[in-house]
Amino acid sequence: MKKNLLLIICLCCSFNSFSQKVKHTFELSKNDFLLDGKPFQIISGEIHYPRVPREAWRDRMKMAKAMGLNTIGTYVFWNLHEPQKGKFDFSGNNDIAEFVKIAKEEGLWVILRPSPYVCAEWEFGGYPYWLQTEKGLVVRSKDPQYLEEYRKYIDEVGRQLAPLQINHGGNVLMVQVENEYGSYAADKEYLDINRKMFIAAGFDGILYTCDPEADIKGGYLSGLLPAINGQDNPEKVKQMIDKYHDGKGPYFIAEWYPAWFDWWGAPHHTVPAEKYTGKLDSVLSAGISINMYMFHGGTTRGFMNGANYKDISPYEPQISSYDYDAPLDEAGNATDKFGQFRAVIEKHLPKGKSLPPVPASKAAIAIGPFKVSSNFSLFSTLPKGVKNEEPLTFEDLKQDYGYMLYRTKIAGGRKGLLQVKQLRDYAIVFVNQKRVGILDRRTLLDSLELQLPAGEIQLDIFVENMGRINFGKYLLENKKGITEHVLFAGEEVKKWEMFSLPFNDISAYTVKRSTSAEVGEGPVIKKGIFNISKVGDTYLDMTDWGKGVVWINGHNLGKYWSIGPQQTVYVPKEWLKIGKNEVSVLELLQPQQNLMKMIKTPILDKLQKQ
């Protein structure tokens, strides 16, 4: 009887739109969450608002309901909302309040995760780069400088989102404090400071923590609801939460992983749905609430991908596609996994009830091939440089993402080993503007044997920030560029000039520039025009290109790299228009390439040699 009551309440709250005027209550009982005083089982899926075009938020939420979800989980990303110190942005795709409101209009509850550390395969785990420019500041600590910046940020988030909590008439059920903190440290005083900051910012509803099973002890704070990540055995879930919550529930799996993410140079990760349907069934049968990570991954656009780094593995920058082998693919279409998970959820519905119809898959389009109409060498359009005896980092120059060119003059007519100490992360080396080699942090390649021509030569080292580490103890070692010094033939190379190339706005590099067929061997910017008579999702096939970034109509779509596994770049239909469309490409390795095409299906599982 109790199980049927849970399911009836779940169904009603999942599929009946709730009025803007109705206020609800959300509380904890010994075993259950209580919505308006009655047991409620959270069936949630993670969607991150910046990884989906704003124009498509509602469509993705309709898909969530069609699979049987009643709740959406999302992180809040500090580096998006405060990209530069003191300058906040909650507009456009950063308008998380609108994201939450649309969820309410679609009859969905929300679980909010402002942390402010998010991990999420996201640049610096969500922290803004400029925290590293504050001398002595230590993230995830009781450092007064960090806590002061954190307080300012969480107060701004509170202004946006605290009024949308369920106890204020909104649809935010719960708010997460920190994020898997037990995997990082175990300072309960620090966690309590977090709790107090959240309350001061207006988050006065239910607060909870989330940690992997092995780390709950360090990440749990007495008085808050503990949730577990990565464990879906109902008995173990209940045992662990009982242990840290005075022998009672309710029971919440804050991150359930039926899939995984990818990084450059490694195989595409897929997990058969059959491996997880039984586990989902058992969790729902036990009345345990769950948040699927991810329900829909989308795309990590621009320069927002993170990276992993462990003592036992090399640097692993993540790809732009966040397809995640999730129930919804990168374009938001239902996969086989969606269908199988939907069938499990539907199995638990009361007799005579059914889920909403699944929206039809969107039609994709193919475009081209077509040629880029103009191109020019990036080295011919450099901004004003900054001179210094030793190389400066991105952070030294207040540069957030993108690229930096390091230039100096050295005596030629000799042979020696060029070594870049602590390169972060990828570099192309030029002698007199001729490419002589590549350095790559992923493979621990930081040196090249060079034979320099006679005379004074120009040495250029073009460095790419491939994403700051988002997890683990190396979170505090995230400065970019040449972070130590350069040696040639055992001697330190000095007298550098640095040119910042953040590529925050592609138009700054493409307007009023002369074009030339002679692009040289360095990075080039290419522009092309294509015309279409209808819009639809499509995928730029970059298999035959080298490495770089691509924009459509001014929107940064993300990075590509021929090593794979990702070979295509997803182009959302929402960012295309009937008639003329403009594509811009920053190509680093194959400056002569000029043929582009778009195809109907993604290529996410093809590895190639560099």
Q: Which residues are catalytic?
A: 180, 255
Interacting residues of 599 by C-beta distance below 8 A, sequence separation 6+: 366, 538, 539, 541, 568
Element (H, E) at 500: strand 496-501
With contact defined as beta carbons under 8 Å apart, do 235 and 251 qualify? no
Three-state DSSP at 176 gives strand
- The overall longest dimension of the chain from CA atoms, in Å, is 88
Q: How many CB atoms lie within 10 A of CB 145?
A: 14
Kindly state the tokens that stand for 481: 């560029």
CA distance 465 to 404: 8
CA distance 32 to 157: 29
Task: Tell which residue, 242, 139, 149, 240, has the closest CA to residue 184.
Answer: 139
Task: Tell which residue, 572, 532, 567, has the closest CA to residue 552.
Answer: 572
Radius of gyration of the chain (CA): 25
Q: CA angle at residue 325 from 324 to 330, to 5 degrees?
A: 70
CA distance 206 to 26: 8
φ/ψ (deg, to 5) at 460: -115, 135
CA distance 97 to 160: 6
With contact defined as beta carbons under 8 Å apart, do 578 and 533 qualify? yes
Dihedral of CA 40/44/50/55: which sign? Answer: negative
Kindly state the tokens that stand for 53: 């075009």
Q: Given phi > 0 = left and psi -120 to 50 = alpha, else beta, which region is 432?
A: left
CA distance 8 to 27: 18
What is the distance, to the nearest Å, from the Cα of residue 458 to the centroid of all Cα atoms in its chain?
37
With contact defined as beta carbons under 8 Å apart, do 331 and 364 qualify? yes
Cis peptide before 250 (omega within 30 of 0): yes
Instruction: Determine the length of the chain.
Output: 610
CA distance 251 to 237: 7
Dihedral of CA 472/476/482/488: which sign? Answer: negative
With contact defined as beta carbons under 8 Å apart, do 127 and 140 qualify? no
Three-state DSSP at 585 gives strand
Buried b (16+ CB within 10 A) or exposed e, 179-188: bbbbbbbeee
What's the CA dihedral at 565, 568, 574, 580 to 10 degrees? 160
Three-state DSSP at 449 gives strand
